[in-house]
Structure 1
Amino acid sequence: MIIQAFLRWVETARTGDRARAANALGRAYAKAEINGIDQQAAEMAMTFLLDDPSPKVRLALVEALADCSTAPRAIIRALAEDQPEIAYVAISRSPVLTDEDLVDIAARGSVETRALIASRSTVSCAVAAAIAEIGGEEEVLILLENPGAGLSQRSLRRIAGRLGHVAAVRDRLLARGDLPSDARQSLAEEVGAALATCGLVRATIGEQRVQRIAREACDAAALALSAAAPQKELPRIVTHLREAGRLTPALLLSALCNGKAEFFSAAIVDLTGVPERRVRAILSGGRVHSVRALIESAGLGRELSEVFAEAVLLCRSEAKAGSEASVPVAARLSDHLRRRSSGASHAIAELVERLAFAEQRQMARDYALLVSREAA
């Protein structure tokens, strides 16, 4: 009877009075002060209040119900799709909204709605995946900054693929320890692309040179990331590089000259389809003609296969010599190729010479650092 009287009173009451009554009704329901038939009547009354013309009334109701774990889900769901100030309370606080509710609200809602969902104290992997798939820069940044958001590696890859060109998103992703290696590699390529298109950089050092520097920097980043990545992630990194058109002869030769044998083996496996065990056996102990045949089956020409075979043999000898090796592979290979002056071999010879010089410069830097530390 009380609820029926309440409904009759609501029709003529002023806005402020209706808001206070809605809040009182919601608090009574949340505190379980209503039971039995009265509880059902209270739910009907609250449902009726969803159509109140004043947002103040609906806001008062949601503030009373927001933290209640037994609040009617249909009512909370309706309030979560109300005006922004009302939806904010329901979305940010209500525990009765399910993952399905939140995913649906995110899909049909606005940027602000998705931002509210991303800022919840706990965001499940399913909800985070939905925002990663359809969210814009603002929502995704909030999601990445939320320590309570469950982001799977798949979601992180998706964010990197969709918004890796956005500097703020890229920085947040790169700061994460759980970012997959292939996603980290794609972000490194985004950095290289940003460098290559920077007007100031291009005007300062020239377009052709900046393209070469960016390419070599991306190659160096790929090798560094592959060295730091777990063994099981190498195939995924290599596949990403191949699909992006980055698994070039220059990168493969850089890997050999820099001692990245694991990366080189994984790349050959990916390019040839030959079983990993067989590839490792050929590279570590196969004869020259077997090595060349393997390299050529990876799509590298006959002339290039000769260069790569020589590099493989030099890597073997360096591995046997260990710490006693006095001349780096790149320098020895550069000396071997110095007299070649035609076709692809000439281009590769220039690359190897740059690798050898870069290694020499790094050795000089390391020596200077050591001397300065000893002097200190």
Structure 2
Amino acid sequence: MSPLAELIDDAALAAEAADSAHHRRMLREITDLLVAQAPDLADGQVTVFDEVIAVLCESAGVEERGAVAERISRLPAPPPRLVRRFAADPAAPVAAPVLRRCRPIPDAVLLRIARTRGQPHLAAIAGREAVSERVAETLAGRGDEDVLQALVRNPGARLSDRALSLLAPRIADAVAFEAGLAAREDIPAERRAALLRSCASGRAVARRAAAKQGAERAARGTPVDAQQAGSAVALRIRIGLDEADIRHWLGSGRTTEAVFGLAHLAAVPRHAVLEALDAEDARPLLHLVRAAGLGPAVFAGFLRVRRRRSPPIAAQAASAGSH
């Protein structure tokens, strides 16, 4: 039996075993072998590695999956099944290396991730060697400041007029925005000036909103449970906030976390979500849910919150500040 066949047999046994140390060792050794032999592997052999590592990763932790993702992302032709699996991983340390470096990820997959995952996933996509117009538009509408800056300074990002219009009032660093526009020779000077004016106007609106929210926080103080909710959402953002988290919080009555999470995914201030919940018309809320890339189940959950929400819950969430 060849060394490769022996190692694959050992990996199959390790995947079934309860010994986590042995499991981690096998995952590391299989990955080492893939990286070492990658230039000489036939397609069928790559497929075997793809399947075996995928099985071993099913019970691996974030750290182990992230280490594998980092290594395969640097291969010129990484195993396609692993690329798709890691790209969609809710944990940013696993997904980011693949999203940033691996070329063969279809736009449909990138769009789905850009609409449903957290900001670290979006930042990785914004740093890709090439970003299509459709993906760039989604990033421009949902991304935070780090994502927007990465997008505007990426010469491989194809920024349509719609993407630039979405990006201009949202980006806070006018210097970075101006530098990014100047590097793009296809933007006429008149259009560039209009975008910079939109950027300045957006910053003025953001300053007024921040001042208003600061005054409200000073007047009310920040409730302990709102602080706890903010910490819970921040933790989920670090490891990959997604639709499942919002649905869980809505289903378990944790309205404040759901509000904070929706605000983050839609890239809007938290008070904007509260205003949508208070509005007589449900369309502003629907718009936010769609902007966050979330499904109808989340919208239905927030509609139930609208019907039963009490003023103290609204005050708690509002007093915890903006996104």
8 Å CA contact 1:49–1:58 kept in 2: the answer is no
Deviation of 1:110 (Å):
0.2
Q: Does 1:59 align with 2:43?
A: no
Q: Please, which moves more after superposition, 63-72 or 134-143?
A: 63-72
Structure 2 CA distance for partners of 1:32 and 1:196, relative to 1, 3 Å: closer
How far does the alpha carbon of each residue in 1:5-57 deviate from its partner, in whole angstroms, 9 at most, with x for none? Answer: 33114434535513422322432563343564x54433221220220233343
Q: Does 1:85 align with 2:93?
A: yes
Q: Does 1:108 align with 2:116?
A: yes
Q: Does 1:48 align with 2:55?
A: yes
The equivalences for 1:204-283 within 5 A come to none
How far does the alpha carbon of each residue in 1:138-164 deviate from its partner, in whole angstroms, 9 at most, with x for none? Answer: 31122112233222333212322x42x
The aligned residue for residue 197 of structure 2 is 188
> Which of the numbers 146, 156, 159 marks the counterpart of 2:167?
159
CA distance in 1, matches of 2:206, 2:47: 64
What amino acid is aligned across from residue 184 of structure 1 in structure 2? A
CA distance in 1, matches of 2:50, 2:207: 60
What amino acid is aligned across from residue 48 of structure 2 in structure 1? A
How far does the alpha carbon of each residue in 1:282-318 deviate from its partner, in whole angstroms, 9 at most, with x for none? Answer: xxxxxxxxxxxxxxxxxxxxxxxxxxxxxxxxxxxxx
Q: Does 1:6 align with 2:14?
A: no
Superposition TM-score, scaled by structure 1 size: 0.44
> Which of the numbers 128, 132, 135 marks the counterpart of 2:136?
128
Deviation of 1:191 (Å):
4.0
What amino acid is aligned across from residue 193 of structure 2 in structure 1? R
- State how many pairs are aligned: 194
What amino acid is aligned across from residue 172 of structure 1 in structure 2? A
Q: Please, which moves more after superposition, 82-91 or 26-35?
A: 26-35
The aligned residue for residue 74 of structure 1 is 81
8 Å CA contact 2:96–2:124 kept in 1: the answer is yes
What amino acid is aligned across from residue 144 of structure 1 in structure 2? V
Q: Does 1:172 align with 2:176?
A: yes
Q: Please, which moves more after superposition, 58-67 or 85-94?
A: 58-67
**Percent identity over paired residues:** 24
Structure 2 CA distance for partners of 1:134 and 1:9, relative to 1, 3 Å: closer
CA distance in 1, matches of 2:84, 2:149: 25
CA distance in 2, matches of 1:70, 1:43: 12
8 Å CA contact 1:29–1:42 kept in 2: the answer is no
The aligned residue for residue 317 of structure 1 is none
Structure 2 CA distance for partners of 1:124 and 1:8, relative to 1, 3 Å: same
Structure 2 SS opposite 1:151: coil
8 Å CA contact 2:69–2:86 kept in 1: the answer is yes
8 Å CA contact 1:80–1:87 kept in 2: the answer is yes
Deviation of 1:84 (Å):
1.9
CA distance in 2, matches of 1:46, 1:197: 47
Structure 2 SS opposite 1:129: helix
8 Å CA contact 1:144–1:173 kept in 2: the answer is yes
Structure 2 CA distance for partners of 1:32 and 1:102, relative to 1, 3 Å: farther
The aligned residue for residue 253 of structure 2 is none
Consecutive unaligned residues in structure 1, runs of 5 or more: 200-376
CA distance in 2, matches of 1:115, 1:89: 11
> Which of the numbers 33, 43, 47 marks the counterpart of 2:41?
33
8 Å CA contact 1:49–1:57 kept in 2: the answer is no
CA distance in 1, matches of 2:59, 2:206: 55
Supply the RMSD in Å over aligned alpha carbons.
3.3
CA distance in 1, matches of 2:58, 2:205: 56
What amino acid is aligned across from residue 158 of structure 1 in structure 2? L
What amino acid is aligned across from residue 188 of structure 1 in structure 2? R
How far does the alpha carbon of each residue in 1:153-191 deviate from its partner, in whole angstroms, 9 at most, with x for none? Answer: 33212322x42xx541x4433442354535633643664
8 Å CA contact 2:111–2:138 kept in 1: the answer is yes
Structure 2 CA distance for partners of 1:32 and 1:61, relative to 1, 3 Å: farther
How far does the alpha carbon of each residue in 1:244-272 deviate from its partner, in whole angstroms, 9 at most, with x for none? Answer: xxxxxxxxxxxxxxxxxxxxxxxxxxxxx
Structure 2 CA distance for partners of 1:15 and 1:56, relative to 1, 3 Å: farther
Structure 2 CA distance for partners of 1:120 and 1:192, relative to 1, 3 Å: closer
8 Å CA contact 2:27–2:53 kept in 1: the answer is no
Q: Which has the larger radius of gyration?
A: 1
Q: Does 1:138 align with 2:142?
A: no
